[in-house]
Structure 1
Amino acid sequence: MRQASQRWIGLACCFLLPYTLAAQEPRKVEFNRDIRPILSNNCFVCHGPDNNLRKAKLRLDDEKDAHAKVLVAGKPMESELFARLITTEADKKMPPAKAMKQITKQEIELIKTWIEQGAKYEGHWSLIAPKKHELPAVKNAGWVKNDIDRFVLARLEKEGLQPAPEADPRTLIRRLSFDLIGLPPTPEEVDEFVMEYAGAKRGAAYEKVVNRLLKSKHFGERMAVHWLDIVRYADTAGYHSDNNRDVWLYRDWVIDAFNQNKPFADFARDQIAGDLLPNATNDQKIASGHNRLLQTTEEGGSQAKEYTAKYAADRVRNFSTAWLGMTLGCTECHDHKYDPFTTKEFYKLAAFFADIQEVAVGRQGQTPIMTSTQQAQVKKLDDDITQIQKEIAALPKEKVKDAQQKLAAVQKQKAAVQKAVPTTLISTSGPPRIMRLLKRGNWLDDSGELVMPDVPAVLPTMKIEKDKKRPTRVDLANWLVAPENPLTARIFVNRLWMLSFGSGIVKTADDFGALGAWPTHPELLDWLTLDFQASGGDTKRAIKQIVMSAAYRQSSKGTPELRQRDPYNQLLARQGRYRIDAEFVRDNALAISGLLVAKVGGPSVKPYQPAGYWRYMNFPVREWANDKGESQYRRGLYTHWQRTFLQPSLLAFDASTREECTVERPRSNTPQQALVLLNDPTYVEASRVFAEKIIKTTGKTPDRIQTAFRLALQRQASIDEVQIVNRLYDKHRKHYEANPKDAASLLSVGYAQAAKDIQPEELAAWTSVARTILNLHETITRN
C-alpha cells in the first residue's frame, strides 16, 4: 500500500500548495492532544481495536501496524494515510463518503505536521500513570493562593489572559454553601462572614467557612446526590412493574461515609466487596448493596437466563463507568471500536460478580439489618428477659403469674423492636455462576468460551495470592484502588473538580476513553491525582484544596471578549455560573421559607405530587399518597425515587431516573421549570410561609422587599428592583382585595396552616411577591 502512483504524487503536490504556505515553524504536535481525537472520530470505527469490523486489515490505533502500512515518519508525501486524506478520487478518498464523516483542512494540516515531526504515537493519556510535574513558574505570583493556582495561572499567562477578579464575599459564601452542602447560607452566616472578610484576616475568615461547611452533617447529603446518580440508586426495581424495594440504608451509608470522610480505598472496597471482608460489619454489608442497585424484573413471563445475562452486563457497564471512567457497554456484543477493550474482557469483568446470589425473575430477598440503637435495645431486653426468667424459676407458684405477665410485656417490647428493624439489599456470596462469552451478546448462544475473572489487559495486572484459584470481588476492589491503577483516583478527583466549577478538567467526566475530551489542564489533573493518593484518599482535603484556591474564588463574570474566546470556560479565567441540581432547587425554597426539616437519613418520603401522575403505572395500579408532617419537608435527596415515573418536579430540573449510571446531569432551561416554581404545591406553600416571614420581620414595604432579597439571594435589592417589586405588590394587593376567593384559594395550598393574624389579601399579595422571587433565575443559580 505504501507505493503511491505518480498520478497520486502529482495530485498531492497540487493539493498541498496552500499547506506549504503555512507558518514556517509549526507548533509541536502531540498525538494524544491533537491527532488521536481526529483518528478516533473519523477512522477507528473501521481501522481501530474492533477485530470483527476492521477494514483492509489496518489498525490506525496501533503504531507498529500504522507505520508498517500507511505512515513514513518525517515524509507525509510518501505516507499512504496522507495521500488518502487529500486525494480527490472518490473511490480512494478517506474517510469514504458513505461514512458521513469529513476531516477538515485544519485537521489534515495537523496530520501532515505530525508526520513531518516523526508520526510518534503515545499511549492513551488516561491509561498512562499520572506523572509528578514541577510546579509551573508564573509572573503574577501574588495571585496564587495554593499550588492549584500555579497550573491554572500558567495556562492563562500562556494564552495572554488574566484571571477574573475575586468574587464579592456574599457571592463567595453562597457559592461555598451550595457547593459543599447544597443549601443557601442563612442571613446571619452571611453577615458574619462579610464582616470578618472585610477585616485584616480575610483568609482566615474564608477558611473558617470552608471548615464549618465540610464538618456539616449536610455535606454528606450534598455529595450523596452525585454518588447516587453514579450507582443508579432508586427505591424501586425498574422494568415492567417497577415495584418498591427497601435500599435506603445504602443511601444513608453513603451520606455517613462522606460525612465521616471515609478513606477512598475503604469507600470503594466496602461497596464492591464489603460482604466478603473478614468479620464484615453491618455497615460493610449495607455498603455491598452497591452491587444490587441495578434494575431487576418481576414479570412472570420473563426468561431467567435472559435476565441473568442482563444483570451481568448491567454490572459491568456501571462498574466501568463509575470506577474506571470508561464506556465498556458496547463490548458486550463486540470489541470496542475506539478503546483497547475486548468482548472477552467484558465477560471476564462480569465473572467477578457471578458469585452474587439473587433471583433472576421475581422479588429480590431483603435482609434485616439492625441499627446500633436497635441492637442495644434488643440486648437490654434480652438481659431483662433472662433476669425475669431466673426470677420465675425461683418464685413460689402463687407469685409466678405476675412475673409471667411482666415477662410477656418485655417479650412484646422485643418483638416490636424486631418488627421495626429495616431491611435492605446486600450482596451475599455463593458458588459463582458459570460465565461464558456471549457472542454478539446473545444469551441464547451457549457456544462461547468459558471465562474466569480478570481485568482488561491494557490496565495494570491484578495482584492475587499465588495459591488462589479464582480472584474475588475483594481482589477487584484492591486492584481498583491500587496506586498503579491510572484511572480510579484520576476520575474521582476530576468529578470533585466538576462539582466545584461546573465542568471537569476532563469535560467528559463519564468517558476517559478515546472519544472523551482531552484534559484542559493535564498536569493539574496529574497533580490532583497524586496528591489525593498521597493523602490516603482524603476526599474532604481534596475538596478543601480546590475551594481554597484563587481559581475557585474568581468572579463568574466574564468580559465579552473572554466569553467569545472561551465560551465554555475551559481556560478557567473565571468561575462557572449554572443552575443548582433539582434536589437543591427544592431544598433552597424550603430553606428560604423556613419549612425545611434538617433531619438526616431515614426511609424515603413522598412530597407533593400531582394526582393521577401514576395513572399509567400498571401491575399493580398504585396511588402516590403525599406525606404529612415533617416527612413532607425533608430534603429532595430523600424523595421516593420511582424509576419509571420519577417525581415530576425533580424530572423537570433534569434529575436522573437512575436506570443507568449518570455521572453528569444535563442542565436544561425550559418553560416547564418556571411553571414548576410557580405552581407546584411545594413552591406555592413555601412562598406563602416565606411571605409570612417577610411580613413579620418589618412593617414598611421597601424594608420587606429588602428582607425578601436578603433571605432568598443573600444581597440587597437595587433601587430599580425595589420599585419593580413594589409595583408588583400593589397590583396583586388590589387584585386580592377585589377577589377574596382568589386569595383564599392561594392561601389554602399546602398542609402548613396560613397565619391567622395577617389579613388574607395582604398575605396573598406578599405570597405573589415571594413566588416571583423564588422563580428568579438568580435564586436557583450558583454563581
Structure 2
Amino acid sequence: MFPTRASDDSAMTATVPSGPEISALSPHPEGDRVGPVMEKYAISRDLKPIFTAMVLLLLSIVVFANRPADDQPSPIDFSRQVRPILSEHCFPCHGPNDESRKAGLRLVDRESATEELESGFTAIVPGSRDDSEMWLRITDPEDPMPPAKEHNELSSKQVEVLGRWIEEGAEFAPHWAYVTPEPSEVPVTAHDWPAASIDHYILAQLQAVGLEPAPDADDTTLIRRLHLDLSGLPPEPDRIAEFTNESGEEAYLEQVNRLLASPHFGERLASFWLDLVRYADTVGYHGDQEHHSWPYRDWVIEAFNSNMPFDQFTIEQIAGDLLEQPDQNQLVATGYNRLLQTTHEGGLQLKEYRAIYMADRVRNLSETWLGGTLGCAQCHDHKYDPYTTRDFYSFGAFFADIDDEDHLRNPYGGLNSTPTRRRPEMRLMTDEGRSRAEQLARKISETKPQIDAAIEALVPEQQAWEQQLVARIESTERRQSVWVDDVLDTGGTVSGRWNFVAAEGVPAHSGQVYRKQSSDGLIQHYTVGTTEKTITVSDGDVLFAWIYMAADSQPAAVMLQCNTAGDWQHRALWGGDEIVYGRQPESSAAYQRMGKLPAVGEWVRLEVPFESIGLKSGTVVSGVAFTQFGGTVYWDLCGVENASAAPAPVVEALAVAAADRTDAHRLVLSNYHVDQSQQVVALRSQLASLQKRASSLTERQPLALFTRSLESPRTVRILPRGNWLDETGEIVEPKIPQFLGSLETGQRATRLDLARWLVTPEAEGGIGGLSARVFVNRVWAQFFGEGLCSSVEDFGGQGRPATHPELLDALAIEFIDSGWDIQGLIRRLVLSRTYRQSSRPSPRAAEVDPENLLFSHQARHRLPAEMVRDASLWISGLLVDQLGGPSVKPPQPPHYYRHLNFPPRKYKPDMGSNQWRRGVYVHWQRQYLHPMLLAFDAPTREDCTSRRHRSNTPLAALVLLNDPVFVEAARSFALRITRWQHDLDLIGRDSAGTDEEAIVFAMKRATSRHPEPSEIELLMNLLESSREHFAAHPEQVKTLLDAGAREAVDFIEPVDLAAWVEVARAILNLHETTTRE
C-alpha cells in the first residue's frame, strides 16, 4: 500500500540530520519543572514545532563536529530536513491544494517541481542551485520568498539546507508517516545502561549530542510512578515498603504484572481513549441533553482490562454491528459511532446536520486512528497533505449507512426531555437477566401451542355451543365482560399503583389475587386502552366492580369513573364528599351519588348502570378508574354486565340459518366461542402475564446507544466549498484516500471494510503500519510525557518529525507481530531503563534538551483532572472501589446550570457512595463540564482531544481547598490520621502515637515518602496554630466538621479534629501530592 522506506544505516550511529533553528525562548508555562535550571531554559509550548527541529539540528551538528576533518557531511534527508521546511514555508502557495496554488508551481513531488513553468523558469534544476529559480527567489535580498508580508521567513540555515538538497539532486521521498514501517538494526553502544532495545535507541540519540541518561529513580519514586501510570492511584505504603525491601528486576516485573492485571488498569487507560473518541454523557449542541452513552465507556474499560487486541478493539467500535451475529458487547462497542455531538433543536435543517455529523465522524476517525487531518479537506483540497476534497466525502460515505437521524426528523420528540431520545438504543441484559428472559421466552413459546390446541378442540363443539347460546339469549340471561382480574393487559396507558397481592387474610373473590390500595388521602389507579374489550354501551348495561373494605381501615369514600373519548367526566361515588374529582353537591347527569359506603369485612359488588352516569347507548367506554380517599380497599373483578347474553353481532349471526351464513358470520361465532372458553381465557391470561413479566424485565434494563445499519445508505455528494445547500456536487462512493491506495471489495465498501483496512498490514493491502505507529506513539506519550513524534495529533505535513523514527517503527512492527497486544506494549515500555530514569535533568540536559524530546530523563507533570480527584479520595479513604455503571454526579455549585435549557435543569448531586467514585465515571456535561474538571484542564470532549494542555491558575488551588469533595476528603483524611494515632494495634504499642508520628504517617500516605524534619516542623506549627484558632472560634469548628457526609466521632475532641483537617488540607494541596514524577 505504501512505498517502502529505504534502509537507514544512520540508526547505527544515531545520526539525526539538522532542521530549522530555534527562534526564541520563554519561561515554561506550566511551572512544574524542577529547579532554576529548568525554569531558565523552559520553552514556550507555542514554539515547540520550531524547537523540535532545533533538537534535530543540534543532533546533526554534534555528530558532524565529531567526524574526522576529511569526512563529508551526511546527505540531506528529505523527509526529516526538507519536507518540514517546504510544508511550513512553501506549501501554503505551492502545496497539494490546486485552488491556492500560485504561479503554477507545485512543490509536492519531483516531477512537478522540476518541470518548466509557464513563465519559462524552472523552480528546481537538480544538481544546480544557481540555475534553480527557487534558490534565486529564496536568496533574493530585495524580494525574498516567502514574501516578507507573510511573516514566514526562512532562516539562513534553512536556506542552506534547501541549497544543499538541490545540489545533491533534489530527490523527493514519501512523507515518513506514509512509508511502511521497516525494521532497523538496534544501535550498538559501548555502555551497560540499556536493559532493552528501547534503551539502545534512546542512548544512541543522547550520546550523539553529548548527553547521558539520568540516574535511575529511587525505588519509592519508581513504584509511585508505576502505580499512577498503570492504575491511576498512589501505592499503599505497605506496597512501597515491600518493593523497596525486595527491589531488583524480578520484584519490579512482579509489580508491573500485578498492576496490569488490576481492574484499575482499564479505568486508568480508558481516560485517554475517551478523550480521543469525544465520549461524553450529553449530546453537546443546543440543550445538551443527556443520552445513554455510559455502557460504551464501560466497554472500553473492560476491553483494556481483558487486553483485547487493538485490531479487534478497532473493528468492534467502527463496525461491530456488521460482524456476523454480533453479540451484545460488540453492539455496545459501536456506540463509538454515536458519540458525536448531536442536536435536538426544533426547526433544524436535516441536510445541514447530515453534513455536520459526517464531517465530525471523518475528523474523529482520521485523527484517532491515522493521526491525520482529513477534516481540513471538507471545503478544499488539503494545503499541506495529499488529502483531496473527494477523499473527504468518499471517506464520509463509509458512515452513510448509520441509522442516526430519528432525532433530526423528529427533534420535538426529545426537545424538552433528558435523557433525550436518540434511537436506535438497545436494552442491556446482565447474565442473570438474560437467563430469566430466556426462561420466560421458553414458557411463552410453550403456552402459545396450548392456546392453539385448546381453540382447535372447540371446533367439534361449535354447533352444540351455538344451540346452547340461542337458548340463553331467548331466556334473557345477562352476560359479563371482564376488564380487570388477576392481570393487567399490556399495550395501553396505566397509572397509579397496581399492587396485585394475596394472602392478606382476605380470600380472593375471583382468581388468585386482587389489588390493594392504602392511603391517608386521595389515591387512584386506572387503566385506559389496556384491553381489546372496549365496550359499546347498550341499553341496560351495568358497570360493576368487587371491593372489600377493611373493617379497621375504612375509607371515607370510593368512586368508579369511566373513560370516554379521552375524558373522565362520568363518575359514581359512594360515601363522603372527600374526593375532589368532578365533585358536585348532588347527583347530576354525569355525576351520581350512590349513597353510603357498602358493608365492610366482606366482598361487595358495586354496580353502576351506565345511563345513571350519563352514558347513552352506543357510547364507547375504553377505561375505568378506581379511586378512594383514605383507608384500605381491596379491588377485584371489574367489568361490564350486558343486558343481552351475547353481543349484537353474535345475535345477528345466530339469527341467520346455518346454511345461509357468510364467512364473516361464521368467524364472528367461532371467535365468540373461543372468547367464552374458560380454558382459552385462562391460557390467554397466563400468556399475558408471562408477556408482561418479560416486557417488565426488559424495561428495567439500562439503555445503550448502538449502531444500526440502514438497508440503503444515504447518498453522499461532494459539497462545493462545504456548502450543504449546494447539491451540484458529484455523488461519491465509500473509498479510502486515493494516495493511500484502494479497497478491492468488488462491491460497495462498508465500515467493516474500512475498519479491517485500518488494522491490516501494508503488505496485505491495509494501512496497519500507520495505525500501529499512531497508537504506539500515543501510548509512549502517556508514559514518557511526549510522543516519539511529539505532534501526537498530526502525523501529516504540519506535524513534527519523529525524533526517534527507527524506534517508533520497531515498536509498531513488534506491536503488530504480537497480535496487537496492548498490555504487552505497555509492559515493554515500563520495563525499559528509559522509563525508570529520574525526572530530574542534569544541567547539561536542561540546556541542550529543555523539552526532553530526547528523553534524557523522565517526565514530571501534574496529574490529569480525574486523577487529582481520585488521589485525594484514595488518600482520605473515601474512594469507592466499584467498577462500571451509570455516570455519577458529585456536588457542584448550585446554580451552575442556570443557563442550561431545553429543558431547564436543576443539578441533583449524588449524596451516597456514588459521589466518591473514580473520576472516569463522573458525569461529562459538554457545555457545562464539572467545574473541578475544568479547573484542572479536562477537555469538554466536543471534539477529538489527542493531548491535554496543562495550566496553573488560582482556580486549581481554590478547588483543592474549597470544593465540597475535597473538603470532605480532608475531613476524612484527618479522621484516618487520628484513628491511626489512637489505634494501638496499628501502631504496635501501648500508648497513642505522637503528633509528629501522625504527620509522618500522613505524608507517607499522600506523597509516598518520609517527610523532611523541616516539613514536619512546618506542619506541626500549622497544627498548633490551628488548635489555638479553633479553640478561640468554636463556631468555625462546627462549620468545618459539618461539611459533607458526616459520621459520629468520639475518640477526639472537635477542636483537635478541626486542626487536623487543616493539616490534611495542606497536605492534599501539596504540589507533590498531585504530581507524577
TM-score (norm 2): 0.68
Residue by residue over 1:222-262, the C-alpha shift from the partner in whole angstroms, topping out at 9 and shown as x without a partner, is 11111111001111111111011011111111111111111
Q: How far, CA to CA, are the matches of 1:704 and 1:391 in structure 2?
A: 74
Shift of 1:117: 2.3
The Cα RMSD (Å) is 2.3
Which residue does 2:666 correspond to in 1?
Answer: none
Q: Which residue of 2 aligns with 1:83?
A: 136
- Counterpart of 1:455 in structure 2 is 736
Q: Is the 8 A contact 1:75 1:115 kept in 2?
A: yes
Which structure's CA Rg is the greater one? 2
Deviations 1:196-217 (A, max 9, x none): 11xxxx1000000000000001
Cross-structure match for 2:79: 32
Matched, 1:480 2:761: no
C-alpha displacement at 1:461, in angstroms? 2.8
The 5 A counterparts of 1:142-541 are 142-197=192-247, 202-359=248-405, 360=408, 362=411, 363-365=421-423, 366-382=425-441, 401-402=511-512, 414-430=694-710, 431-464=712-745, 466=746, 469-484=747-762, 485=767, 486-541=769-824
**Contact 1:40 1:515 survives alignment (8 Å):** yes
Secondary structure of 2:280's aligned partner: coil
CA contact (8 A) 1:184 1:588 kept: yes
Distance 1:637 1:389 in 2: 47
- More strand per residue: 2
Say if 1:386 and 1:327 are closer, same or farther in 2 by CA, change over 3 A.
closer
Q: Which amino acid aligns with 2:701?
A: V
Q: Report the AA paired with residue 86 of structure 1.
A: T
What do the CA deviations read for 1:506-553 (whole angstroms, capped 9, x no partner)?
101010001101111100000000000000100000000000001100
The alpha carbon displacement at 1:379 in A equals: 2.4
Tell me, yes or no, if the aligned pair for 2:936 and 2:950 is still in contact at 8 Å: yes
Could you tell me whether the CA contact under 8 Å between 1:748 and 1:754 is conserved in 2? no
SS of alignment partner, residue 714 of structure 2? coil
**For residue 897 of structure 2, what is the amino acid of its counterpart?**
W
| Equivalent AA in structure 1 for residue 815 of structure 2 | F
Q: CA deviation at 1:161?
A: 1.4
Seen in structure 2, the aligned counterparts of structure 1 residues 386 and 280 have a Cα distance that, compared at 3 Å, is closer
Structure 2: gaps of 5 or more residues: 1-63, 116-121, 412-420, 455-485, 487-506, 514-681, 982-992
Indicate yes or no: 2:172 matched with 1:121: yes
**Bigger mean CA offset, 106-115 vs 669-678:** 106-115
Does the CA-based 8 Å contact 2:211-2:844 persist in structure 1? no
Letter of the aligned partner of 2:145 in structure 1? M
Please state how far the C-alpha of 1:26 moved relative to its aligned partner.
4.2
Q: Deviations over 1:476-501 (max 9, x none)?
A: 01111011113111100001101111
Contact 2:427 2:698 in 1 (8 A): no
After superposition, the Cα gap between the structure-2 partners of 1:461 and 1:386, relative to the gap in structure 1 and judged at 3 Å, is: closer
Deviation at 1:383, TM superposition (A): 5.3
Partner of 1:17: none
Stretch of structure 1 that moved more, 145-154 or 349-358? 145-154
Contact 1:590/1:596, CA 8 A, preserved across alignment: yes
Contact 2:278 2:339 in 1 (8 A): yes
- Alpha-carbon distance in 1 for matches of 2:946, 2:698: 38
The secondary structure found in structure 2 opposite 1:367 is strand
- Describe the superposition over 1:292-312 as per-residue Cα deviations: whole angstroms up to 9, x where unpaired: 110111110211110011111
Equivalent pair of 1:152/1:551 in contact (CA under 8 Å)? yes
CA distance in 1, matches of 2:444, 2:707: 33
For residues 692 and 809 of structure 2, the distance between their equivalents in structure 1, rounded to whole angstroms, comes to 60
Give 1:135's aligned residue: 186
Q: Which runs of 5+ in 1 are unaligned?
A: 1-21
Give the deviation of 1:771 after TM superposition: 0.7
SS at the partner of 1:102? coil
Partner of 1:736: 1030
Q: What is the match of residue 6 of structure 1?
A: none
How far apart, in 1, do the equivalents of 2:450 and 2:239 lie? 59
Does the residue aligned with 1:424 lie in a helix, a strand or coil? strand
The alignment partner of 2:1060 has SS state of helix
Partner SS, residue 102 of structure 2:
coil
For 1:598, the aligned partner's letter is D
CA distance in structure 2 between the partners assigned to 1:659 and 1:188 by the alignment: 41
For the residues of structure 1 that align with 2:898 and 2:1048, how far apart are their CA atoms? 31
2:210 alignment partner, SS class = coil
Equivalent position SS for 1:596 = coil
Q: Displacement, 1:138?
A: 1.0
For residues 589-668 of structure 1, the aligned pairs below 5 Å read: 589-668=872-951
Deviations 1:714-734 (A, max 9, x none): 110001110111111111111
Q: Give the structure-1-normalised TM-score.
A: 0.92
Q: CA deviation at 1:638?
A: 0.6
Q: For the Cα contact (< 8 Å) 2:234–2:871, is it kept in 1?
A: yes
Match of 1:757 among 1032, 1037, 1051: 1051
How big is the shift at 1:36? Answer: 1.1
1:108 and 2:108 are equivalent in the alignment: no
| One-letter amino acid matched to 2:422 | Q
Kindly indicate whether residue 125 of structure 2 is the aligned counterpart of residue 72 of structure 1. yes
Sequence identity (%): 48
- Tell me the distance in 1 between the aligned counterparts of 2:246 and 2:89: 56
1:689–1:754 Cα contact (<8 Å) kept: no
Q: Is the alpha carbon distance of 1:313 and 1:757 closer, same or farther for their aligned partners in structure 2, counting shifts above 3 Å?
A: same
In structure 2, C-alpha distance between the alignment counterparts of 1:781 and 1:33, rounded to whole Å: 34
Deviation track 1:413-469 (CA, whole Å, cap 9, x = no partner) reads 6554322211111111111100000000000000001101000112143242x3xx2
Deviation at 1:470, TM superposition (A): 0.4
1:548 corresponds, among 796, 810, 831, to 831
More helix by share: 1
Change (3 A) 1:412 1:436: closer
> Aligned partners of 1:63, 1:727: CA distance in 2, in Å?
72
Q: Distance in 1 between matches of 2:784 and 2:267?
A: 19
Distance verdict in 2 for CA 1:169–1:413, change over 3 Å: farther
Report the Cα distance in structure 1 between the residues aligned to 2:196 and 2:123, rounded to whole angstroms.
47
Between the aligned partners of 1:664 and 1:176, the Cα distance in structure 2 is: 20
Cα distance change on mapping 1:100 and 1:633 into 2, 3 Å: same
The aligned residue for residue 494 of structure 2 is: none
Deviation readout 1:306-352 (Å, 9 max, x if unpaired): 00111111110111101110011210000000000000000000000
Q: 1:118: how far off?
A: 2.2
- Mapped partners of 1:736, 1:417: distance in 2: 55
1:781 maps to 1075
Counterpart of 1:470, as a letter, is R
Q: Is 2:980–2:998's contact at 8 Å kept on the other side of the alignment?
A: yes
Does the CA-based 8 Å contact 2:201-2:804 persist in structure 1? yes
CA distance in 1, matches of 2:964, 2:912: 15
Counterpart CA distance in 2 for 1:406 and 1:368 is 25
What are the superposed Cα offsets for residues 646-672 of structure 1, whole Å, 9 maximum, x if unpaired? 011001111110100001111111111
Deviates more, 1:648-657 or 1:755-764: 755-764
**C-alpha contact (below 8 Å) 1:60/1:66 kept by paired residues:** yes
